[in-house]
Structure 1
Amino acid sequence: MPKPIDLRDPSLYNNRELAQLEFNVRVMAQAMDERLPLLERLRYLCISCTNLDEFFEIRVAAVRHLQDLGGPTTADNLSPAAALKLIHEHAGILVESQYRYWRDVLRPQLADSGIRILSRETWNARQKRWLKQYFDDEIMPVLSPLGLDPAHPFPRILNKSLNIVVVLQGKDAFGRAGNMAIVRAPRSLPRIIQIPPDISGGPHDFVLLSAVLSNFVDDLFPGMHVKGAYQFRVTRNSELLVDEDEVENLAHALKGELAGRGFARAMRLEIADNCPKAIVKILLGNFELPENAVYRINGPVNLNRVIAVYDLVDRPELKFPAFKPRRHPDVDGDSLFERIRRSDVLLHHPYDSFNAVLDLIKEASSDPDVLAIKQTLYRAGKDSELALHLIEAARNGKDVTVVIELRARFDEEANIRLADRLQEAGVQVVYGVVGYKTHAKMMLIVRREGRKLQRYAHLSTGNYHAGTARAYTDIGLMTANPDIGEDVHRLFQQMSGLAPAYKLNCLLQSPFTLHKALLHKFQREADHAIEGRPARIIAKMNALNEPGVMEALYKASRAGVKIDLIVRGACCLKPGIPGVSDNIRVRSVVGRFLEHSRVYWFENGGDAELYCSSADWMERNLLRRIETCFPIIDPGLAERVFREELANYLADNQQAWEMQPDGSYVRVAPAPNAMPHSAQDALLAQLCL
């Protein structure tokens, strides 16, 4: 028997916030990978910066909220103050890495390739004249500089907006002594300005808006002397707090919260590194931030906005080769209903086109035999084609019900607008269940066929969003299996009609059965291992932090179960700890596409089971959301998912990272004489080329 050990010892687990930052370090490493095309490395750098923004808006805000509640400890037994100190230390290292790479490597390499981001000191006379005219014509008319005095207190600064703090000397037209002013850059202004080639002499010459504002800021204060101008940006809490038990209309309450989101509590201040300490102190006091929350920046404070260059520059040789998702051979030709009735259809996005899903809902919207369509929507995207088909179905007399999640983070406003559009077309819109986000991805179509009603279901690990279906890896299943159809029907009844927690035939569901089922399956593997039967767990997901799951995995490891976890993002479990997790390996794959699919495989003594799910192994997914987990019943399709989504990624030695027992990651290198293998490139070659 394994030696007794306290599996709740906090030292056995990674801090959640630092684990999230560690993922961003891996994204940053992609930006620094010289094997990748130049503009793709620029894109990864900007993604790293955007991820860090969201980290402060959500994760740091949560820790700060814990601190406000009186200092309860975090999950790994740190006080909120101690956690915040560690966060700022580690985030500071990451920020320094981002800007050093931008200044010393990426920007010079872009210039060598004919893509120049021109700094103020490099502008020649012709460029400066053109930029001055651009400032006068396009920028100055929309600016409203605000001098700070008793009549003009410090203005409200919008979340992540570009601002310039200006130090002034002299008197204005009314004889008021100048001191400080704030120049806010309206969001209507482009953050990247391209200089015409005939003016600049280069085909792809760009200037940052912050540089133009800083250079010509004197023109905003005629008769006064500008002693200094320093760009800054503040990142604020972006969580929406709505007490659903206390509101009668969730959509109306969210609209009210959205109006104030951009001015919630400050979490971080980024400011030019040459800004005087006295000015920084004033800003910190205004935003009620501690000194360790200021990040002095040698470069643009909104570096992520340089992503615009990626789209403005048409240089295919500096980007990933274009690919066209394949039209799945199983959905070509006859009616999709006839095809799905014959056997299940598996879609692996982005390699398989999302058009198959759109075609299914389009066919259903006009088919006279289709009686009802039920759909969940978490993120649908702007101008969603799927939403248009749902509207058309309602206009054609179908009974259409959509469960739309208004609280999908950063998509709340878009989802409210979509809900209004659907309701106006006669769609029955349900806002989910109070207290539980609806994160499940499912569609149900009810069709009359002869004397019976036939159900067709689509279940997925990803959203019904055509855009992300080209950038995220996900698994979708189209099936006419009666047990699955009945389960999906019951889940929709639950969400829309206050039905009880039904016993389901084969689906697992959060918050009722999925967590318990996972713990049971972990223990079953442990029992198999103890009895000498085949026992192994392989799982792929976005994140892992649920304490019960991690403790159960440690127990299974101690019983001899071999466990391989492919966790793209934050993982709080530590592998390779002697006597605790010797049999656990954790790897992360960061590649061209965002790894988003959730796949769980259990060897089960030789009678293997494979599930796909909308849920990560996180507290929120397993205990506080409505999620689905569906089995791949067809043996051939299960083998395909295992081969493409599990074995393929365990063999990756190009884009994979292996977690060490201390929570850090090391890039996986090919073994001696081993062939290079990229999981995503292999799927592109197999399915798309």
Structure 2
Amino acid sequence: MVYSNKNFFNRELSWLYFNERVLDEAILDKNPLVERLKFIAITSSNLDEFFMIRVAGLKAQIEENYIKTDISGLTPNEQMEKIKIKVKKLVEKQYNCIINTLFPELEKENIFIKKYNELSLKQKDFVENYFNETIFPILTPMAIDASRPFPHLINKSLNIMTKLLIDGENRFSIIQVPTIINRFLELPSKNTKEFILIEDIIKANINKLFTGYKIDITGEFRITRDGDMIIDEDEADDLLIEIENSLQKRKWGSPVRLEVKEDLDNDILEFLTESLNLHISNIYKLNGPLDLTFLFSFCNINNNKNLEFKPQPPILSKAFSKEESIFSSIRKKDIILHHPYDSFSPIIDLIEVAANDPKVLAIKQTLYRVSGDSPIVKSLIKAAKNGKQVTVLVEIKARFDEERNIKWARKLEKSGCHVVYGLKGLKTHAKCLLIVRNENNGIRRYVHFGTGNYNDSTAKLYTDLGFITCKEEYCIDATNLFNKLTGFSSPKSWHKLSIAPEGLRNKLYKLIDKEILNAKEGREGKIIAKMNSLVDKEIIEKLYDASNAGVKITLIIRGACCLLPEVKGLSENIKVYSIVGRYLEHSRIYYFFNNNNPKIYLSSADLMTRNLDRRIETFFPIEDKEAIDLIKMILEYNLKDNYNSRIIKSDGSYELIKNKHKTFNCHKEFYSFTKKNN
């Protein structure tokens, strides 16, 4: 069947709907106050990245007169217009929430963010001293005139523009709000916690920067620049150096968004738009503090635990025992870890034990995103120093983690690890760890595949699944995967794994086709899939085919979804849910009923064209009965949720599921289940 553009939803608008769901978590009073502030910060951080990558990409297409439509039939210009309308409504909703709801709620808890004119005399003296001793020496006012052109301001920096009247003419100067110090200052106060933002301190003392001149007016603004990196891997002699050079360029990409305070002087606004060569439609006027990502650090000052989620410390899986070695535990049976409920520490411990174990000969691992102080990387360095053969694929093209990954790559190389950067033209997104050990019965291999990164920090915040086994067929495939990544090897067949970009797409087609065949022959056809995003046109069309054949399809998609569910004659048998809550839903699970002999797969891949065609990804079956039962329960709990879950409507919008029955919060229930069963 041929599907028209109207059968698909635009990816960018779908992503904005997702960010609105994040914002709704800040609006809903079911969440503790400090957590609601964090959701505001997440929304802002998400929008920054959206403009730096997605909007910047559309802007480049428009400048190149690219008129090809997306799968929903929209040209780049049409997409941009719809994005601007949606973002302005989203930002208005965001600031309405924080100014009219969250800041007043903070004040009820005796926490205040004050304006300068609200300070007591004692507090003003305190602020003035702080300005003179700490802020003033850092600041550099940048005048703009014939000999001093408009400065090239760094991406996402917060700036204060001043307008001075000199010899009857307007003159402008810019002061960058320093990032080397906290964005806010705690004020002396007896019974309350009171703060003032740094930009308000600067504005109150700005005359000290322009002695001899009178400041007419001041205003704040913030620029977001194109943050994408275009790397020519064919021409790059050294990919590491090429990416390091591109990282510097990212700071100075062309402007794509200008955020200003709502009351910004018209002369300043006109001067900024002209200097930055930005159209008025790229300006976002805000009625509160610019750059709300400061709320991440602001939330850390809270010492009232009642304003946060109740702690849920990760639990050590009963699959691991203090009485036996970690390798013995793995030999007993396949192990599934459901993070963050199950602790990530067994993965850290496995690498640490392997680094020190005389029987371990080699460790091989892929690293896509790791923490800033990664215990895993430290163990790999230790393993190399202990004489193990350590091979690490560090994906230095992981967006916004390039700098950190380059740092770790250099340290790993220096310690004696063999470091590779992946295959040309492809990002390595697969999550795989392979340990080779010399045991009494000969060489044995242990392997870990995951849906999420080897990041001990995000493993406490993201829901992900890890699979550990020493079964030979999985281990052979893991060995072949590393041979493919590090050398010239292309296995003709795989025992258990399906790998993108070579076979994963076709594997999915075959699994969906089997459900279609069963449905057409009168048997039950059913698919349940959980992922971050569904945007690949061909996969969506295949799911439409399955729906029209009578296959019942249930999707749990956290982020962007270009499929339109429950449309008559198109997707009547498809339901789509989205869960946004305490934890970021990151696990990828694919379930196929298979005539009542279910096939269940975990994967590092979402159903996006980039994952299926331009990345190295893994897709692997779960065959152990106990592990299968656990994953079926995970899907069941996700679908039972009526606390965090929303259902997507046929027009692409989302609706919060009403609590028709007893409240079921899957994030809470997963933790209870994990605690009870360990």
Whether 2:172 is the aligned partner of 1:180: answer: yes
| Structure 2 spans left out of the alignment, 5+ residues | none
Quote the Cα distance in structure 2 between the aligned partners of 1:278 and 1:373.
Answer: 62
- The DSSP-based 3-state class of the residue aligned with 1:483 is helix
**CA contact 1:323–1:688 (8 Å) conserved in 2:** no
Whether 2:418 is the aligned partner of 1:431: answer: no
- What are the within-5 Å matches in structure 2 for residues 551-570 of structure 1? 551-570=541-560
Whether 2:567 is the aligned partner of 1:577: answer: yes
Whether 2:172 is the aligned partner of 1:168: answer: no
Question: Residue in 2 aligned with 1:254?
Answer: 243
Residue identity in the other structure for 1:193? L
Q: TM-score, normalised by structure 1?
A: 0.96
- What are the within-5 Å matches in structure 2 for residues 153-552 of structure 1? 153-170=149-166, 179-195=171-187, 199-333=188-322, 334-552=324-542
Superposed displacement of residue 177, structure 1: 7.1
Question: Residue in 1 aligned with 2:94?
Answer: 98
Superposed displacement of residue 6, structure 1: 3.3
- The DSSP-based 3-state class of the residue aligned with 2:149 is coil
Superposed displacement of residue 132, structure 1: 1.3
Quote the Cα distance in structure 1 between the aligned partners of 2:406 and 2:284.
Answer: 35
Decide which moves more: 275-284 or 331-340. 275-284
Listed one character per residue, the Cα deviations across residues 610-662 of structure 1 (whole Å, up to 9, x for unaligned) are 00100000011111000001111101101101102x11100000110000000
Residue identity in the other structure for 2:267? A
Quote the Cα distance in structure 2 between the aligned partners of 1:451 and 1:670.
Answer: 57
Whether 2:51 is the aligned partner of 1:59: answer: no
Superposed displacement of residue 438, structure 1: 0.4
RMSD: 1.3
- The DSSP-based 3-state class of the residue aligned with 2:234 is helix
Quote the Cα distance in structure 1 between the aligned partners of 2:194 and 2:45.
Answer: 24
Whether 2:651 is the aligned partner of 1:662: answer: yes
Question: Residue in 1 aligned with 2:27?
Answer: 32
**CA contact 2:217–2:265 (8 Å) conserved in 1:** no
Quote the Cα distance in structure 1 between the aligned partners of 2:25 and 2:438.
Answer: 51
Question: Residue in 1 aligned with 2:75?
Answer: 79
Residue identity in the other structure for 1:191? R
- The DSSP-based 3-state class of the residue aligned with 1:463 is coil
- The DSSP-based 3-state class of the residue aligned with 1:465 is coil
Listed one character per residue, the Cα deviations across residues 345-384 of structure 1 (whole Å, up to 9, x for unaligned) are 1110000111100111111111111111100000111111
- The DSSP-based 3-state class of the residue aligned with 2:527 is strand
- The DSSP-based 3-state class of the residue aligned with 2:223 is strand
**CA contact 1:545–1:572 (8 Å) conserved in 2:** yes
Superposed displacement of residue 236, structure 1: 0.8
Superposed displacement of residue 208, structure 1: 1.0
Listed one character per residue, the Cα deviations across residues 280-320 of structure 1 (whole Å, up to 9, x for unaligned) are 12212222221111001111111221222210111101000
- The DSSP-based 3-state class of the residue aligned with 1:244 is coil
**CA contact 2:219–2:265 (8 Å) conserved in 1:** no
Quote the Cα distance in structure 2 between the aligned partners of 1:468 and 1:526.
Answer: 38
Quote the Cα distance in structure 2 between the aligned partners of 1:396 and 1:307.
Answer: 40
**CA contact 1:170–1:223 (8 Å) conserved in 2:** no
Q: TM-score, normalised by structure 2?
A: 0.98
Superposed displacement of residue 278, structure 1: 3.0
Residue identity in the other structure for 1:101? C
Residue identity in the other structure for 2:571? S
Residue identity in the other structure for 2:14? A
Question: Residue in 1 aligned with 2:592?
Answer: 602
Quote the Cα distance in structure 2 between the aligned partners of 1:405 and 1:284.
Answer: 38
- The DSSP-based 3-state class of the residue aligned with 1:365 is helix
Question: Residue in 1 aligned with 2:629?
Answer: 639
- The DSSP-based 3-state class of the residue aligned with 2:437 is strand
- The DSSP-based 3-state class of the residue aligned with 2:205 is helix
Match of 1:69 among 58, 64, 84: 64
Quote the Cα distance in structure 2 between the aligned partners of 1:661 and 1:244.
Answer: 42
Residue identity in the other structure for 1:463? N
Listed one character per residue, the Cα deviations across residues 406-436 of structure 1 (whole Å, up to 9, x for unaligned) are 0111110110010000000000000000100
Aligned residues: 674
- The DSSP-based 3-state class of the residue aligned with 2:595 is helix
Residue identity in the other structure for 1:102? I
**CA contact 1:23–1:569 (8 Å) conserved in 2:** yes
Superposed displacement of residue 451, structure 1: 4.6
Residue identity in the other structure for 1:183? I
Residue identity in the other structure for 1:111? E
What is the percent sequence identity of the aligned residues? 38
Whether 2:674 is the aligned partner of 1:684: answer: no
Quote the Cα distance in structure 1 between the aligned partners of 2:110 and 2:148.
Answer: 45
Superposed displacement of residue 501, structure 1: 4.4
